[in-house]
Amino acid sequence: MPEHRTTGRFAVVTGGSEGLGLAIAAALARDGADLILVARNRDKLETAAKELGRHGTVVHTVPADLSAPDAPARIAAHVGNLTDRLDTLVNNVGTAHFASLADTTVDEMNTMWHLNVQVPLLLSRQLLPALVNARGSIINISSYWARKMVAGRHSAAYSATRGALNSMTRALASELGPQGVRVNAIAPGAVRTPQYERSYLAPMTAEERTAHDAQIEHSYPLGRLGTPEDVATAAAYLASAQWTTGTILTVDGGLTIR
Ligand SMILES: NC(=O)c1ccc[n+]([C@@H]2O[C@H](COP(=O)([O-])OP(=O)(O)OC[C@H]3O[C@@H](n4cnc5c(N)ncnc54)[C@H](OP(=O)(O)O)[C@@H]3O)[C@@H](O)[C@H]2O)c1
Q: Please provide the DSSP assignment of 199-250 as one string.
A: IIITT--HHHHHHHHHHHHHH-TT-S-B-HHHHHHHHHHHHH-TT--S-EEE
Q: What percent of the chain has pLDDT over 70?
A: 99
Same domain, 67 and 19: yes
Same domain, 214 and 93: no
Ligand 1 centroid from CA 112, angstroms? 12
Q: Per DSSP, which regions of 117-216 are E strands?
A: 137-141, 182-188
pLDDT in tens, 162-217: 999 999 999 999 999 999 999 999 999 999 999 999 999 999 999 999 999 999 99
Same domain, 70 and 105: yes
Q: Cα–Cα distance between 194 and 6 in angstroms, integer?
A: 30
Same domain, 149 and 220: no
Residue 157 domain-assigned (yes or no): yes
For residue 89, what is the enclosing H or E element? Answer: strand 88-91
Residue 129 domain-assigned (yes or no): yes
Residue 256 domain-assigned (yes or no): no
| pLDDT value at residue 155 | 98
Residue 55 vs residue 86, higher pLDDT: 86
Same domain, 43 and 75: yes
Same domain, 150 and 210: no
| pLDDT value at residue 5 | 79
Tell whether ligand 1 has an atom less than 6 A from the beta carbon of residue 167.
Answer: no
pLDDT in tens, 100-145: 999 999 999 999 999 999 999 999 999 999 999 999 999 999 999 9
Tell whether ligand 1 has an atom less than 6 A from the beta carbon of residue 184.
Answer: no
Same domain, 136 and 215: no
Residue 2 domain-assigned (yes or no): no
Residue 176 domain-assigned (yes or no): yes
Question: For the domain that residue 126 is a member of, what is the CATH number?
Answer: 3.40.50.720
Ligand 1 centroid from CA 196, angstroms? 10
Q: Cα–Cα distance between 239 and 31 in angstroms, integer?
A: 9
Number of domain units in the chain: 2
Same domain, 208 and 142: no
Which of 12, 13, 14, 18 gets mutated to test ligand 1 (max ligand atoms within 8 A of its CB)? Answer: 18
Which own/partner contact pairs does 168-176 have at CB distance under 8 Å and 24+ positions apart?
168/117, 168/120, 168/121, 168/140, 169/138, 169/140, 169/142, 169/246, 169/248, 170/246, 170/248, 172/121, 172/124, 172/138, 173/245, 173/246, 174/246, 176/128, 176/131, 176/138
pLDDT in tens, 101-113: 999 999 999 999 9
Residue 54 domain-assigned (yes or no): yes
Residue 19 domain-assigned (yes or no): yes
Residue nearest ligand 1's atom 23 by CA: 15
**1 band by pLDDT with thresholds 50, 70 and 90:** low
Instruction: Spot the catalytic one: 158, 196, 200, 237.
Output: 158
Which of 24, 42, 92, 117 gets mutated to test ligand 1 (max ligand atoms within 8 A of its CB)? Answer: 92
Same domain, 150 and 160: yes
Same domain, 216 and 130: no
Amino acid occupying residue 183 = V
pLDDT at 221 over 90: yes
Rounded-to-10 torsion of CA 36, 42, 44, 46: 60
Ligand 1 centroid from CA 64, angstroms? 13
Q: How many CB atoms lie within 10 A of CB 56?
A: 13
Same domain, 148 and 70: yes
Concerning whether 158 is annotated as a catalytic residue, the answer is yes
Residue 257 domain-assigned (yes or no): no
Residue 208 belongs to what domain range?
194-225
